[in-house]
Structure formats: C-alpha cells, structure tokens
C-alpha cells in the first residue's frame, strides 16, 4: 500500500515545490508595490479609493437626507407634552379676586411597550386606583401607542401607592387642573373646561377663542407666568350678595327659577350675574342639565310690562307724545276678536306718566299704534331687541320674533307680550334709555366709560332718556315699583308680570315676573334686573304674585345690600334738580318731589 503511494506522492512534491518561492516572491512584490509608488499603477488605485470614499460619503449623505425627511419618532417626552393639559390664564374679578386658576396635579401614565406583564399591571393598578375601569385600562395598555393615561389628577396618597408598586413603564407627570375656588358663584359667566384644560363654555371658551388655543395648537409651550390674567367686569362680593338674596327670594316665593344681574349703564359692564338653579363649574357635568342654563343670556322670555318703558320711550323719541300728552284708557282696547285689558284699570284718560305708573296696557298699546308697525319694528331693531345679542359669552339666544308682524303684534309687544328676548338684551335697552340714550353693548370684561361710549350709537335723545328716568323714579315713588324705593339711593323702577304660555295659551296662575331698577335716577350708574319664574302668592303679599311683590322685593334687598359695595353714597336729602333737561324744556314739575322720602 505504501509503494504505490510513494510514486504518486513523488511527482506531486516537485510540482508543489516550485510555486512556493514564486508565491512568496509575488507576495513580496505586492507588499513592495504597496509601499513603493509606481506612477503607471497609482492612477487607477487613486481612482478606486476616490470611488470608495465617494460611495461612503454618498451613503452618509443619503442617510442624512433620509433622516431629515423621516417624521420624528414619537418620543415619550413629546407624546407627554402633547397629552398634558395646558396652562390657562387666571380669571380675576374687577378687584383682582381669583375666580379661576390652574393648580398642579399629578397624573399617572403608562408606556404600554415597556410594560412586561400587562394583566398583572392592570390588576395592581386597579387595586390602588379603585375608580379606574379594569377592562378599559387593559384595552388601553394593549394598544400600540407609546403613551397612555391611566388616571388624571390623582391625590398625593394615591401617587405614593402607585409609586410603591414599582411597575416599569408607569410614571407620573404634573398637569394643570382648572379650579374655581368660589364654587357656583358666577358659574354661568366663567363657564368651564374639559380634562385637557380647554374651554368648553363661558369666558373660558372665549379666552381660548382669543388666540390661546391657536398658540398651543401650533406647538408653542406656554409658560404659565407669561399668561396675562383676564380681568372680568364682575365683582365677586356683589355677585355673592346678589346670588344670596336671589336664593332667599326664590325660597320665599317658591319660584321655580330666577336670575338677577347688575349692569353699569355707563360702561356696559356686567357687575354681577346670578342665575338659579346653578351648578359648580368644578363639576362640569352638572352644567349640561337644562334647568341650569343661564337665564340672563340663553333663555328668552316675554319681558312683560318692563317693555312698556321701551314703548313709551319710542313714542317720546318719535315726538308722538310728550310728558304732558293724554292717552285714552277709558275702556279696553278692541282689536278684531281680541280685547286688551288693563290690570289696574282706571277707566279714564291718563297722562303719559300715569300710563307708566298704572302700567296701562291700553295706554301703551295706543302709543305704539301712534308710531305704527314699521316705526315700532325699526325702533326695536335700533335698540337691539330683534337681533341676537352677542357678548363675550359664546352662549346666546336669538329673540323669538313673530313671523308676521301686524298691528296686533305691535299692540301686544308694546306691553311686553309676543316678543321673547334675552333678559340681558332688555337690560341693554333699558340701560340705553337711562344713560342718556347711548346703546352700549354689555360686556363681561373690564372696560372704561370712554371706551364704552366711543362706539355706542345714540338711540334716543338725551331728553327722552331723562324723561324715562323721571318716569322710573315716579313709578318708584308712587307707582307699582314702590317696593324698591330704598331710602337714600333715589331708585327708579319698573315692574313686569307676564303670564306664562302653557300649551299655547296664557296660563292665568303661572307668571314670569321681572323687575328693573335704576339707581340713582338723576345720574344713573347701575341697572338692576331680577326675574323669577313662577313665584307663588303668599299671605304676606296679600295673595298677589305680581312682580312688585317678589322680584321687586328682591331687587330692593339687593340694592340695599350692594349699594355700599358699588360705591354708591347714600343721600338722605333728595337732589334738588334731578332732571335739568326736562326743566329747561318746560316740564318744571318733574323736579318737585311728590312726597317726603
């Protein structure tokens, strides 16, 4: 076996022997070539290297471009900053009291991708946070998102317990939470926010509309310190006093609901607003109940006899009557098959002031007919009663106007039936009738008188405005508004009682009462409005449920209580020349007091 092997191996060896030195010398040559430059060979090698580098840089460059165009991967920080509720500016009242502010609360979040055992995590978390829905949480943790909330706004104790669980992928983030320290006070004006701190209603929504939302949507991170607080026109203490008196009044007269507001007639600022029943904006789900609407702004009502002020001002403005004119109120007014009666029928010819103080439907209707249907419509439009009143509050209501407006409509609207307006709208009109004739749009933000008057249209002449103040004052001294004649403040007022429409007919036993009061009547500053839905007659009110007995009484209490806070100094002596313009026009009698105050 070895013999044949040898000859076989022998020719192999000499064959393999000779290349070895050749290979070695070739290797040496290669190494030599690497070290020594040969002009003839280096060109292609340099090219090769250049191409290699070009490829390398090309790859790097391409990669950079690719990364540049690729959407940034959602990092945790980014996802969190998007999910965390944003800061909002504080809301202050006109004196700087806090109405709404942000506080920091902790919220628990999870990164589902980093949670190892999801079922165990759900079990442990729901044990510590019992109000978290286990099934829902399991679903959320099962999602492919990088960031999910577990619970927002937890208590420090809960935070500690969750921390003790030591779950990976579960963390905490500080968030802003809106709080309203005054509870239901001014709730209807403030509105509320959702869990992401975005305004849903009221001024909160208005603030977002003013650009805050756009900024945060565009990705700007707002520093809470940079947000300028929003100053409202409301006065917190006055609002409380108004609400408190209204609560007492509603309880006393067993009314279904009520509302009250104070308007600065010279600036259009709403100083106080309360609408009952109300809700706590810290618990915004209550706000959605239909009973909790803002009756000043969102409800529309027939304002009843308070509208007579507008009708008489219209007749005076159109020069159809003067304060000395007489109007026939001997009998009921017949129109077609309808008859208009007076509640306090006098059955005689009344002077214009008497029409107002006796609240004569017939007299007012006759005056409106003198102006005519078109004139009536035009005046109501001019004074803002036929269009939707827009304030800062996003909630508003369109007035209910009769579709076909004939003479009968003019007759009924003249004494406040057949036209439903928002009470705030009526306040704006009466404010214009008393402040010298300028229609100033109400506002919930602080404003100066110059600013308010700059763009306010003149809707009635100053002397008409003064005549209206005289009539209101007269009405408080010897007319239907006597309940509001608070000593020292020279108050004027007008009552309004409207029968409610139940199933298309006016119900005799259910009324909607309104009361407007102006103080002081000679140099008006504030207009008070109180309204009550279905107040009941009481033995103390001698079985009456008309406005003077309920809304009027409440208004009187409100004025007495807040006059000091509103910086209205009491005057025990009556002003000697309260109505100078009228005296100059020859109605000197308006300045003589009717009775001792």
- Of the two residues 177 and 205, which places its CB atom closer to another protein in the complex? 177
Q: How far is the CB of 478 from another protein (least distance, A)?
A: 21
- Judged by CB under 8 A, the stretch of 114-122, 367-375, 429-437, 565-573 that binds another protein is 565-573
Report yes or no: 437 and 458 within 8 Å, Cβ to Cβ: yes
Contacting another protein within 120-179 (CB under 8 A): 174, 179
Which region, judged by CB under 8 A, interacts with another protein, from 23-31, 34-42, 165-173, 563-571? 563-571
First-last CA distance in the chain: 151
Q: Does residue 340 interact with another protein by CB under 8 A?
A: no
d(CA 112, CA 514): 59
Rounded distance, CA 192 to CA 203, Å?
8
Q: What is the dihedral of CA 169, 172, 175, 177, to 10 degrees?
A: 110
With CB under 8 A as the contact rule, the residue among 162, 241, 421, 452 that binds another protein is: 241
- Rounded CA-CA distance 70/72 in Å is 6
Q: How many residues bind another protein (CB under 8 A)?
A: 28
Helix (H, G, I), strand (E, B) or coil at 16: helix
Cβ atoms of residues 502 and 509 within 8 Å: no
Which residues, 482 to 541, sit near another protein by CB under 8 A? 486-488
Please say which residue, 254 or 487, places its beta carbon nearer to another protein.
Answer: 487
- Sort 336 into a burial class: Cβ within 10 Å, 0-12 / 13-18 / 19+: exposed
Site string for another protein, 452-491 (x = CB under 8 A): ----------------------------------xxx---
Measured from the CB atom, the residue of 447 and 561 that comes closer to another protein is: 561
176/233 with CB nearer another protein: 176
* Cα–Cα dist 363/360, whole Å: 5
**Contact pattern from residue 83 through residue 112 relative to another protein, giving x for each residue in contact according to CB under 8 A and a dash for the rest:** --------------xx--xxxx--------
Cβ closer to another protein: 203 or 422? 203
The minimum distance between CB 326 and another protein, in angstroms, equals 37
Among 570, 580, 586, 593, binds another protein (CB under 8 A): 570
Residue 275's closest CA among 76, 1, 533, 36? 533
- Report the Cα 92 to chain-centroid distance in Å: 14
Q: Got the DSSP string for 165-214? A: HT-TTEEEEEEEEEE-TTTTTTHHHH-EE-TTS-EEEHHHHHHIIIIIHH
Binding of residue 569 to another protein (CB under 8 A): yes
Residues with Cβ within 8 Å of residue 303, at least 6 apart in sequence: 416, 421, 423, 426, 496, 498, 514
Cβ distance to another protein smaller for residue 113 or 487 = 487
- Listed ranges 203-211, 344-352, 547-555, 564-572: which one lies at the site for another protein (CB under 8 A): 564-572
Residue ranges in contact with another protein by CB under 8 A: 97-98, 101-104, 174, 179, 181-183, 185, 224-225, 236-237, 240-241, 244, 486-488, 560-561, 564, 569-570, 572
């Amino acid at each position: 076996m070895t013999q044949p092997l040898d000859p076989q191996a022998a020719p192999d060896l000499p064959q393999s022997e000779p290349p070895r030195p050749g290979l070695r010398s070739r290797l040496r040559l290669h190494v030599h070539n690497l070290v020594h430059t040969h002009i003839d060979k280096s060109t292609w090698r340099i090219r090769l290297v250049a191409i290699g580098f070009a490829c390398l840089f090309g790859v790097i460059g391409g990669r950079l471009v690719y990364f540049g165009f690729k959407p940034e991967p959602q990092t945790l920080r980014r996802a969190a900053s998007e999910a965390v509720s944003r800061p909002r500016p504080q809301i202050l009242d006109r004196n700087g009291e806090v109405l709404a502010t942000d506080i920091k609360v902790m919220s628990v979040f999870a990164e589902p991708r980093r949670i190892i055992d999801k079922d165990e995590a759900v079990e442990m978390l729901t044990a510590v946070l019992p109000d978290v829905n286990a099934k829902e949480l399991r679903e959320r943790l099962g999602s492919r998102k990088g960031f999910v909330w577990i619970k927002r706004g937890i208590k420090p104790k809960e935070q500690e317990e969750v921390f003790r669980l030591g779950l990976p992928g579960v963390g905490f983030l500080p968030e802003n939470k809106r709080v309203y320290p005054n509870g239901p006070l001014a709730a209807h004006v403030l509105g509320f926010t959702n869990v992401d701190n975005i305004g849903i209603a009221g001024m909160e929504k208005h603030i977002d509309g003013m650009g805050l939302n756009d900024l945060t949507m565009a990705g700007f991170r707002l520093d809470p310190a940079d947000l300028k607080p929003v100053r409202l026109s409301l006065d917190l203490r006055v609002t409380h006093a108004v609400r408190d008196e209204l609560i007492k009044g509603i309880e006393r007269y067993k009314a279904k609901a009520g509302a009250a507001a104070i308007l600065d007639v010279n600036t259009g600022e709403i100083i106080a607003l309360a609408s009952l029943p109300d809700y706590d904006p810290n618990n915004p789900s209550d706000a959605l109940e239909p009973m909790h609407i803002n009756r000043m702004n969102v409800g529309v009502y027939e304002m009843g006899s308070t509208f007579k002020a507008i009708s008489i001002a219209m007749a005076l403005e159109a020069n159809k009557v003067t304060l000395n004119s007489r109007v026939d109120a001997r009998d009921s007014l017949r129109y077609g098959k309808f008859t208009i009666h007076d509640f306090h029928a006098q059955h005689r010819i009344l002077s214009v002031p008497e029409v107002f103080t006796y609240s004569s439907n017939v007299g007012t209707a006759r005056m409106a007919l003198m102006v005519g249907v078109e004139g009536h419509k035009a005046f109501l439009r001019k004074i803002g009663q036929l269009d939707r009143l827009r304030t800062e509050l996003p909630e508003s209501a369109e007035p209910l106007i009769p579709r076909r407006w004939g003479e009968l409509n003019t007759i009924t609207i003249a004494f406040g039936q057949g036209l439903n307006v928002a009470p705030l709208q009526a306040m704006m009109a009466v404010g214009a009738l008393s402040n010298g004739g300028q229609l100033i749009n109400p506002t919930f933000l602080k404003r100066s008188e110059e600013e308010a008057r700059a763009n306010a249209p003149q809707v009635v002449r100053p002397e008409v405005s003064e005549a209206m103040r005289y009539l209101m004052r007269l009405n408080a001294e010897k007319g239907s508004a006597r309940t509001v004649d608070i000593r020292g403040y020279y108050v004027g007022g007008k009552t309004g009682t409207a029968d409610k429409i139940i199933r298309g007919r006016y119900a005799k036993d259910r009324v909607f009462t309104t009361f407007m009061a102006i103080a002081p009547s000679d140099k008006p500053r504030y207009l008070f409005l109180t309204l009550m839905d279905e107040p009941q007659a009481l033995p103390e009110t001698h079985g009456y449920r008309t406005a003077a007995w309920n809304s009027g009484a409440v208004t009187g209490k409100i004025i007495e209580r807040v006059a000091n806070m509103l910086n209205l100094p009491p005057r025990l002596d009556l002003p000697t020349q309260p109505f100078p313009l009228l005296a100059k026009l020859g109605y000197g009698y308006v300045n003589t007091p009717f009775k001792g105050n």
